[in-house]
Amino acid sequence: MEKTLLRGRVLNFRREPQGPEDTQSFDYFEDGALVMAGGVIEAVGPFETVSAQAAGATVIDHRPNLLMAGFIDLHLHFPQVQVIASWGAQLLDWLNNYTFPEEMRYGDAGHADAMAGAFLDQLIGHGTTSAVGFCSVHRGSVDAYFSQAAQRDMRMIGGKVMMDRNAPEGLCDTPQASYDDSKALIGKWHGRGRASYAVTPRFAITSTPEQLEMAGALAREHPGCYVQTHLSENRDEIAHTLELYPKARDYLDVYQQVGLLSGRSLLGHSIHLEPREIDALAESGAHPVFCPTSNLFLGSGLFDEGGLRARGIVSGIATDIGAGTSYSMLQTLNEGYKILQLQGQALHPYRAFHWITRGNAVALGLEDRIGTLAAGSEADVVVLDARATPAMALRMGRVETLAQELFVLMMMGDDRAVAQTYVAGRAMKPANRG
């Protein structure tokens, strides 16, 4: 089998860093290497040791750049690639004025296919090798998403949005149609290559109770699938939800009552939570997902990462394209850092880079496959250049430690700092694709 050896400064997290001094939580090889074969990482370690055991491998020298596991984005919407940067609205108006009209276009399979390809190339260009995505209500959008991902051999999770009210007619399904379509798509895509399915009721406002029951049934019938939805993003959204579901104890209860809450549930935003909701998250093992650029852009509020972590809740982090304003997980950390600063919480770069790699993989239960460079894991690798722009190069002149370099990358970096992205062992950054 053909082998490729990447040489560079290798950084790989083995567990979540507990603080700035916790250098035991990761391996760092100043002159390091990893060997990829058949889409998998075969060996990782110091260059001298690894290269001695990899005779005949094609060597690609990425020094002095950093090699890390590819980034994982835990929440985004691929049919919103042309909604990013839509002016002036908060959540509900933004959905009605910009997003729903745009998602109507994804009934056209050709359009969905073109946009899915462009979207995945953007992810790769920004160093993201896996993501959990909402498609549109249309079945064809899911086929586009997973078939374009398969062409790139990306590990992607996603699902058809289920929505049957409070949206334009052309964007609404019915409880039965959403169940049937989702079921068919699970049969077609879940476990095929690197694809996994997520049962995807959009959020409480756009589903009738009957539809959420159907979503709960799908989750029960397919325990290997994920569940993704939105929770407590915006105060008007919460008020409207409680009007629509007067018997619910709180917003989360709407999902909990129909069996949508488990360790495989990914709950976008989860900002304005009641104490009972936090208890239910902790008990169920569900994962709130922090979407910093989106939360600032829509003026939604400040995610309490520290408070949730203190309760043992494992949160993910994500771009939330297209309310999010950047595909870059580096820029997502930048804005996330600032949101936590406003609450007196400091996100150390070790924990930040763990979060966008192994941390998000842990939320998915996939930490043995992605988010890691350990031998045996899938060969998704990002190559980071902390001197990618003149301003970064200038700043790097004063940098002495790995932690400082990582912090420069997360505050100043974007796709320009991604020198290359390997997906399942292949160099895939669009400019470099042959």
- Tell me whether residue 202 or residue 272 sits nearer to ligand GUN (CB atom): 202
- Min. distance of Cβ 99 from ligand GUN in angstroms? 5
| Per CB under 6 A, 335 contacts ligand GUN | no
Beta bridge partners of 228: 266
User: Of these partners, Zn ion, ligand GUN, none, which one is at the site of residue 203 (CB under 5 to 8 Å by kind)?
Assistant: ligand GUN
- Min. distance of Cβ 353 from Zn ion in angstroms? 23
Contacting residue, 140, 268, 288, 322, with Zn ion by CB under 5 A? 268
- Tell me whether residue 143 or residue 320 sits nearer to ligand GUN (CB atom): 320
- Min. distance of Cβ 42 from ligand GUN in angstroms? 40
Binding residue count for ligand GUN, defined by CB under 6 A: 11
Q: Find the binding residues for ligand GUN in span 267-326 (CB under 6 A).
A: 294, 320, 323
Stretch binding ligand GUN (CB under 6 A), from 15-23, 91-99, 309-317, 397-405: 91-99
Lookup: tokens for 379 = 């060969």
Vertex 191: Cα angle to 151 and 180 (nearest 5): 100
Q: How many CA atoms, within 13 angstroms, populate the side-chain half-sphere of residue 68?
A: 31
Query: Per-residue b/e over 310-333, b at no fewer than 16 CB within 10 Å?
Result: eeebbbbbbbbbbbbbbbbbbbbb
The closest alpha carbon to 34, from 14, 17, 57, 16, belongs to: 57
| Per CB under 6 A, 230 contacts ligand GUN | yes
- Specify the amino acid at residue 43: A
- Min. distance of Cβ 320 from ligand GUN in angstroms? 5
The residue length of the chain stands at: 434
The closest alpha carbon to 289, from 129, 133, 74, belongs to: 74
The closest alpha carbon to 25, from 382, 380, 317, 352, belongs to: 352
Q: Are strands 381-384 and 418-423 parallel, antiparallel or unpaired?
A: antiparallel
- Min. distance of Cβ 228 from ligand GUN in angstroms? 11
- Specify the amino acid at residue 398: R
Q: Find the binding residues for Zn ion in span 295-324 (CB under 5 A).
A: 320
Q: Where are the beta strands (DSSP E) in 109-225?
A: 128-134, 155-159, 161-162, 195-201
* Residue in the structure block whose two tokens are 């949101």: 339
Per-residue contact track with ligand GUN, 200 to 219, x per CB under 6 A?
--xx----------------
Binding residue count for Zn ion, defined by CB under 5 A: 2
Residue 91 burial (10 A CB sphere; 0-12, 13-18, 19+): buried
Contacting residue, 4, 12, 65, 99, with ligand GUN by CB under 6 A? 99
- Min. distance of Cβ 92 from ligand GUN in angstroms? 9
- Tell me whether residue 91 or residue 329 sits nearer to ligand GUN (CB atom): 91
Furthest-apart CA pair in the chain: how many Å?
A: 67
- Min. distance of Cβ 214 from Zn ion in angstroms? 21
Lookup: tokens for 28 = 């760092």
Residue pair 265/286 in contact by the 8 Å Cβ criterion: yes
- Tell me whether residue 136 or residue 360 sits nearer to ligand GUN (CB atom): 136
| CA-CA-CA-CA torsion sign (39, 43, 49, 55) | negative
Query: Per-residue b/e over 191-204, b at no fewer than 16 CB within 10 Å?
Result: eeebbbbbbbbbbb
The closest alpha carbon to 202, from 249, 166, 234, 239, belongs to: 166
- Min. distance of Cβ 418 from Zn ion in angstroms? 24
Q: Give the nearest residue (CB) to Zn ion.
A: 268
- Min. distance of Cβ 386 from ligand GUN in angstroms? 31
- Tell me whether residue 158 or residue 268 sits nearer to Zn ion (CB atom): 268
- Tell me whether residue 251 or residue 337 sits nearer to ligand GUN (CB atom): 251
User: Of these partners, Zn ion, ligand GUN, none, which one is at the site of residue 250 (CB under 5 to 8 Å by kind)?
Assistant: none
Task: Supply the DSSP string of 382-400, one letter for each residue.
Answer: EEE-TTSSHHHHHHHTT--
| Per CB under 6 A, 75 contacts ligand GUN | no
Stretch binding Zn ion (CB under 5 A), from 31-39, 124-132, 168-176, 263-271: 263-271
Q: Give the nearest residue (CB) to ligand GUN.
A: 323
User: Of these partners, Zn ion, ligand GUN, none, which one is at the site of residue 74 (CB under 5 to 8 Å by kind)?
Assistant: none
User: Of these partners, Zn ion, ligand GUN, none, which one is at the site of residue 362 (CB under 5 to 8 Å by kind)?
Assistant: none
- Specify the amino acid at residue 124: I
- Specify the amino acid at residue 210: E
Binding site for ligand GUN (CB under 6 A): 77, 91, 95, 99, 202-203, 230, 233, 294, 320, 323
Binding site for Zn ion (CB under 5 A): 268, 320
